[in-house]
A and B are shown apart, each in its own frame.
With several copies, the nearest count.
Chain A
Amino acid sequence: MSLLDVAAIKADFPIFDKKMRNDARLVYLDSGATSHKPQQVLDAERTFYTQHNAAVHRGSHLLAEEASAAYEGAREIVSHFIGADVDEIIFTKSATESLNLLAYSFSNTNRGVFALKPGDEILVSEMEHHANLIPWQQLAKRTGATLTWFGTTDEGRLDISKIDSLISTRTKIVAITHQSNVLGSINPIHMIAEKAHTVGALVVVDACQSAPHFALDVSTLDADFIAFSGHKMLGPTGIGVLWGRAALLAQMEPFLYGGSMIESVTMESATWAPAPRKFEAGVPNMAQAVGLGAAINYLQAIGMEKIHDHEVALTNYALSGLQTIKGLRIFGPLDTVDRGGVISFALDEIHPHDAGQVLDQYGIAVRTGHHCAWPLMRKFGVAGTTRASFYLYNDLSDIDVLIDGIAATQKYFKVS
């Protein structure tokens, strides 16, 4: 078990000074929804605003020059973080926008690999977050293509037993999550991508729950596009990333139209700048990009390997602890093989919302509900679950508090 120095890390996150209900300390187990921000990130944003604020790529003055350098510098940081070329990084407002950008771009054209027609198939999975499901449902609706999906095993892993029939020459897009935000299971992207590429399908990976938690390298992942959000990886809200292979970005139609994404404009028509500019219309979320750059620097200074090891240790400890509780059922793998630090569970006779409410009295922040994965809830026959998710600022004592909190919850509702 290899743990980080959590006390030192926490000192960088001002929110841990906050007093929760009943003067409890904050036991934050909801990083799967959004993470907290170290002051390094807040300072980077503030410095942007107080020293370099200007519209990027648009002025000949010093501030515009500095703002552009800061914004493009952030793009470089992101590109190194995932092993990509700098021009392959598109800044969006969120992973949700990144995935919608892709889906719209597909129906904004009728040429080449991006054109879909009736009979074509888009393959997703039953464990997708709504953000990697509904955009594809709607793309299917717009183009007449058919949506198909991988199921989930009872253990909470992707059911790849039918992969040979699911991936066929009809398959044009495979959109799959890297790690489930409910089950914690990590999907075998490489194997799926290899298969998808033999039939010429494009592979889209929702990296929202992976990019923040372990090292990710697009040069070996074998995906064609990946999407993730800054706010789940110590970055500000309002910033997301879409990475795509340069050759594909060059062929893609834009999504948002407006300033800075053009080559030339007349009243009747317009032509586009090269990627990534083509996909970044308007004055961008500059300060947020800079904040994300600072967040990545922070993560990398600690090391993604170490963060991953830390989370594996926490997950191990939590899985053992939770399994000692009577009337508690875990959804998702019970070991840490191909599994991240997200644990969903149900308590007999206690609705997740009620559990969350009692835990809140002890300063414990968990998430309750369907976690934007409603089809997965139906598969497991529940309306929702309670989810604890871990990050670099959590330690074993947080898990002890959770386990005591669950006992208190059962006592409060006279179950057990």
Chain B
Amino acid sequence: MELDSLYQEVILDHYKHPLHKGLSTEKTVQVHHVNPSCGDEITLNILLQDGVVSDVTWDGVGCSISQASVSMMSDLVHGKSLDEAFVIVDSFSELMSSKGSLQGDESLLEDAVALAGVSKFPARVKCALLGWMAFKDAAIQGRDGEKI
């Protein structure tokens, strides 16, 4: 069934057991993003230390795709330098806009390549991107804040 390309096992695992969920008290930046068409919301904290994402935590409501995606994302960027994190985010964005033509770079995206199938469902792409865009927003704010 076509559906299985969307809901891979690893996605449902992350959905049932999300990583880094629950907001930390310590943070450099907090952002709140919503998906206006379905009402999903996410609050995301990042803690930056010397240009490194030393902590990412989040809370929110959303569908399996959005929850699994933010879970994978937070695990991926955790401990990475901002520059590395941006490369990962860009690679994921590219995958999402590929309309099924890309597989995703597993060395970079790890579990998140399981979301490749989402790119064939245009209505779900923004679910998958919600957490990533929140992170990118927070990271840019944090970087610009550090520079000052």
Q: Do chains A and B touch in the complex (CB under 8 A)?
A: yes
Q: Distance in Å from the Cβ of B116 to the closest Cβ of chain A?
A: 16
Which residues from B are CB-within-8-Å of A59? 123
Of the candidates A21, A57, A263, the one whose C-beta lies within 8 Å of that of B2 is: A21
Question: Is A262 located at the chain interface by the 8 A CB criterion?
Answer: yes
Q: Distance in Å from the Cβ of A59 to the closest Cβ of chain B?
A: 8
B34 x A264 contact (CB < 8 A): yes
Given the interface pairs A60-B123, A351-B62, A361-B2, the reply to whether A263 lies near B36 with Cβ below 8 Å is yes
Which residues from A are CB-within-8-Å of B41? 383
Determine the distance from Cα of A273 to Cα of B127 in the docked complex, in whole angstroms.
16
Most buried by A among B12, B61, B63: B63
Determine the distance from Cα of A24 to Cα of B2 in the docked complex, in whole angstroms.
13
Q: Distance in Å from the Cβ of B132 to the closest Cβ of chain A?
A: 17
B37 x A58 contact (CB < 8 A): yes
Closest A residue to B4 by beta carbon equals: A412
Question: Is B40 located at the chain interface by the 8 A CB criterion?
Answer: yes
Q: Distance in Å from the Cβ of A120 to the closest Cβ of chain B?
A: 31
Which residues from A are CB-within-8-Å of B7? 354, 412
Which of the 9-residue segments A33-41, A246-254, A368-376 touches chain B?
A368-376
Question: Is B65 located at the chain interface by the 8 A CB criterion?
Answer: yes
Q: Distance in Å from the Cβ of B130 to the closest Cβ of chain A?
A: 11
Which residues from B are CB-within-8-Å of A374? 39
Given the interface pairs A22-B1, A357-B3, the reply to whether A383 lies near B64 with Cβ below 8 Å is no
Q: Distance in Å from the Cβ of A410 to the closest Cβ of chain B?
A: 14
Question: Is A377 located at the chain interface by the 8 A CB criterion?
Answer: yes
Question: Is A190 located at the chain interface by the 8 A CB criterion?
Answer: no
Which residues from B are CB-within-8-Å of A58? 37
Which residues from A are CB-within-8-Å of B38? 352-353, 368-370, 383-384
Question: Is A69 located at the chain interface by the 8 A CB criterion?
Answer: yes
0 or 1 for each of B18-33: is its CB under 8 Å from A? (1 = yes): 0000000000000000
Determine the distance from Cα of A370 to Cα of B3 in the docked complex, in whole angstroms.
24
Q: Quick one: which of B63-86 are within 8 Å of A by CB?
A: 63-65
Given the interface pairs A21-B2, A351-B64, A374-B39, the reply to whether A69 lies near B121 with Cβ below 8 Å is no
B61 x A412 contact (CB < 8 A): no
Question: Is B6 located at the chain interface by the 8 A CB criterion?
Answer: yes
A370 x B63 contact (CB < 8 A): no
Given the interface pairs A357-B124, A361-B1, the reply to whether A262 lies near B36 with Cβ below 8 Å is yes
Closest A residue to B34 by beta carbon equals: A264
Determine the distance from Cα of A308 to Cα of B37 in the docked complex, in whole angstroms.
30
Question: Is B100 located at the chain interface by the 8 A CB criterion?
Answer: no
Q: Distance in Å from the Cβ of A414 to the closest Cβ of chain B?
A: 8
Given the interface pairs A358-B3, A361-B2, A412-B3, the reply to whether A353 lies near B124 with Cβ below 8 Å is yes
Q: Distance in Å from the Cβ of B16 to the closest Cβ of chain A?
A: 9
Closest A residue to B36 by beta carbon equals: A263
Most buried by B among A357, A361, A413: A357
Residues of B in contact, count (CB < 8 Å): 23
Q: Distance in Å from the Cβ of B7 to the closest Cβ of chain A?
A: 8
0 or 1 for each of B115-127: is its CB under 8 Å from A? (1 = yes): 0000001111001
0 or 1 for each of A222-246: is its CB under 8 Å from B? (1 = yes): 0000000000000000000000000
Most buried by A among B1, B123, B124: B123
Q: Quick one: which of B81-140 are within 8 Å of A by CB?
A: 121-124, 127
0 or 1 for each of A46-83: is its CB under 8 Å from B? (1 = yes): 00000000000111100011001100000000000000
Q: Distance in Å from the Cβ of A257 to the closest Cβ of chain B?
A: 14
Most buried by B among A262, A351, A361: A351
Determine the distance from Cα of A369 to Cα of B41 in the docked complex, in whole angstroms.
12
Of the candidates A264, A368, A377, A413, the one whose C-beta lies within 8 Å of that of B36 is: A264
Which residues from A are CB-within-8-Å of B122? 65, 68-69
Determine the distance from Cα of A68 to Cα of B125 in the docked complex, in whole angstroms.
13
Closest B residue to A274 by beta carbon equals: B36
Which residues from B are CB-within-8-Å of A368? 38
A22 x B127 contact (CB < 8 A): no
0 or 1 for each of A311-342: is its CB under 8 Å from B? (1 = yes): 00000000000000000000000000000000
Q: Distance in Å from the Cβ of B58 to the closest Cβ of chain A?
A: 15
Determine the distance from Cα of A370 to Cα of B37 in the docked complex, in whole angstroms.
8
Determine the distance from Cα of A357 to Cα of B2 in the docked complex, in whole angstroms.
11
Which residues from B are CB-within-8-Å of A352? 38, 63
Given the interface pairs A357-B6, A361-B1, the reply to whether A64 lies near B39 with Cβ below 8 Å is no
Q: Quick one: which of B34-56 are within 8 Å of A by CB?
A: 34, 36-41
* Known A260-B37, A370-B39; 6 more pairs at CB < 8 Å: A22-B1, A60-B124, A353-B62, A354-B63, A383-B62, A384-B40
Q: List residues of chain B with CB under 8 Å of any chain A CB.
A: 1-3, 6-7, 12, 34, 36-41, 61-65, 121-124, 127
Task: Please list 25 pairs of residues, one from A and one from B, whose beta carbons are closer than 8 Å in the complex, sorted by A's number.
Answer: A57-B37, A60-B123, A65-B122, A65-B123, A68-B122, A68-B123, A260-B37, A263-B36, A264-B36, A351-B64, A352-B38, A352-B63, A353-B40, A353-B62, A354-B7, A354-B63, A357-B6, A361-B2, A369-B38, A370-B39, A377-B39, A383-B38, A383-B41, A384-B39, A412-B3
